[in-house]
Structure 1
Amino acid sequence: ARFRAYSGFTALYNGTGQPSASLPLFQDSAGLPVGVMATAAWGNDHLLLQLSAQLEQAAPWPQIAPFADTD
């Protein structure tokens, strides 16, 4: 049930084959990543990629990536 609260629309767009992208935007006060899922109509992949590029310019992803301890 908790998973459905965070991914309610993912299966819908996977099932319909519409182009979608999950984009990180910022981190909350606890340092957890927060993002958005964007979806375009069939045949409008280019619009989704343009939006994704604009959001990446506004909030560069390497700067908001969570720290991973590899030791």
Structure 2
Amino acid sequence: AAQRTNTHQFSTTSVLINVTVKSLHALQFQRPEYEALITSTGSMAVDPKNNQPLQILATDDDYSATG
């Protein structure tokens, strides 16, 4: 079997992140939704907005710096 390269073929999926440690404050993600492109097996997920590796960032007030 062989597959002809077709740049119009793609697939989508969703990833759900569950935090299971009990916390006083919920995590606050920088964005409500993240999107990335993966072009081939073993390649890095890239943010299509800036063409940089996807970073999922969140803050947790349980660990905020105290002065």
TM-score range, shorter chain: under 0.3
What is the TM-score normalised by the length of structure 1? 0.26
Which of these two proteins has the greater Rg computed from alpha carbons?
2
What is the TM-score normalised by the length of structure 2? 0.27
Which structure carries more helix by proportion? 1
Which structure carries more strand by proportion? 1
